[in-house]
Structure 1
Amino acid sequence: MTDNKRIALSSDHAAIELRQAIAAHVASLGWEPVDIGPTTPESTHYPKHGEAAAKLVASGDCRFGIILCGTGQGIMLAANKVKGIRCGVCSEAYSAKMLRQHNDANMLSMGSRVIGEGLALDIVEAFLSAEFEGGRHGTRVDMIMEIEG
């Protein structure tokens, strides 16, 4: 695993405040947030924000990405279209931990209209502190990556 401590952060208009709270939190944990999301509340399109963050992760510029929209679903779908990205939506910490341990996910998505700030920060910590277990999970991740060609 790389020692890159950069995390791409993006969202649509629905999650600006939560994204900014996450940026401050990951910085307090020793990570460098790369916040590319909008800063004003005008409606914006989540696919472009998911794609932009995913490209930073896929290129290796950022080790991980954390993206948000109202539910976390739409922005996650966009991010997963970028080759090399494994992103899942989590609304509790156990799934975030498993997303890293079993799926070697490099991006996390959350819904700002689904969870509150305290829970979001717990989910982020679970995601960032977990390590990929490899083994049989590595075989399965390889199978997933073969699907994208």
Structure 2
Amino acid sequence: MKIALINEFSQAPKNALILGILKEVAEPLGHTVVNAGMSQTDVSSGNPGDYPADNPCITYVMTGIQASLLLNSGAVDFVVTGCGTGQGALLSCNMFPGVACGYCVEPADAYLFAQINAGNCLSIPYAKGFGWGADINLRNIFTSAFSAPIGQGYPPERRPQQNRNAGILDGVKRAVAKELPDAIRAIDPAIVRQAITPNFLAVFREGCKVPELAELVDELVG
């Protein structure tokens, strides 16, 4: 799998730590890890309004826009995201079609979400409860999430029913949501453009497999 890390500005100082642990765990398992998140070098201040136009501040609101474009375009297969509590990124990501985001505080959350819900995005709290031993917890979360193929079921004998339910949920979401290009165009363009940071754009352009979404992003950037 190709896994993208997305994090917003409040957790930019932890980007290198999260990325390092994710690479340490996922790459020996055969996965590729790319960084679309804000890093310490991107942080100009604590005020989102102070960021330059060519590298805008990302809040949890924009993580859903980024995750939806990366996943629906085929640029990546899985997104690891989060914010201070993990709740804002979770809500933002789950608004969009093609994104099934789970809330993950401990390794069991990651394993059960991957095997039962067969999702493609994890939201992790990087401030709340992120103290002594947090690096160990992150390492174990990523190991639980990526060591086995997704959607194997838990317990294994319930795999057919669980996979069927995950497919039904995805179908319901697509039925009640706009198609992604329509959804992106329905959002205030200023908010969407704010989500198109250099880190995100590099990952998107490198892997995008859907011409319509590539044209949409180019239109917004242009």
For residue 75 of structure 1, the aligned residue among 89, 92, 103 is: 89
Is residue 100–residue 127 contact of structure 1 (8 Å, CA) maintained in 2? yes
Letter in 1 for 2:92: A
1:12-61 deviation digits (Å, cap 9, x = unpaired)? 12222433223222323313222112223344421112320332122221
Deviation at 1:99, TM superposition (A): 0.4
- Aligned match of 1:125: 143
Deviation at 1:98, TM superposition (A): 0.4
What aligned pairs does 1:42-121 form with structure 2 within 5 A after superposition?
Answer: 42=45, 43=48, 44=57, 45-114=59-128, 115=130, 116-121=134-139
Is residue 86–residue 125 contact of structure 2 (8 Å, CA) maintained in 1? yes
Distance 2:106 2:38 in 1: 25
Structure 1, gaps ≥5 residues long: none
* Percent of residue pairs identical: 24
Distance 1:119 1:27 in 2: 15
- What secondary structure sits across from 2:6 in the alignment? strand
2:15 corresponds to 1:19 = yes
**Measured at CA, do residues 120 and 18 of structure 1 come closer, stay the same or move farther in structure 2, by a change above 3 Å?**
farther
Q: Which has the higher helix share?
A: 2
Output the TM-score relative to the length of structure 2.
Answer: 0.60
For residue 8 of structure 1, the aligned residue among 1, 4, 10 is: 4
Number of corresponding residues? 145
Distance 2:94 2:74 in 1: 16
Is residue 64–residue 95 contact of structure 2 (8 Å, CA) maintained in 1? no
- What secondary structure sits across from 2:15 in the alignment? helix
Letter in 2 for 1:19: N
Structure 2, gaps ≥5 residues long: 49-56, 153-158, 176-222
Output the TM-score relative to the length of structure 1.
Answer: 0.86
Distance 1:81 1:130 in 2: 27
* Worse-matched range after superposition: 64-73 or 120-129: 120-129
Distance 1:130 1:98 in 2: 11
Distance 1:50 1:142 in 2: 21
Letter in 2 for 1:112: Y
Q: Which has the larger radius of gyration?
A: 2
For residue 161 of structure 2, the aligned residue among 133, 136, 146 is: 136
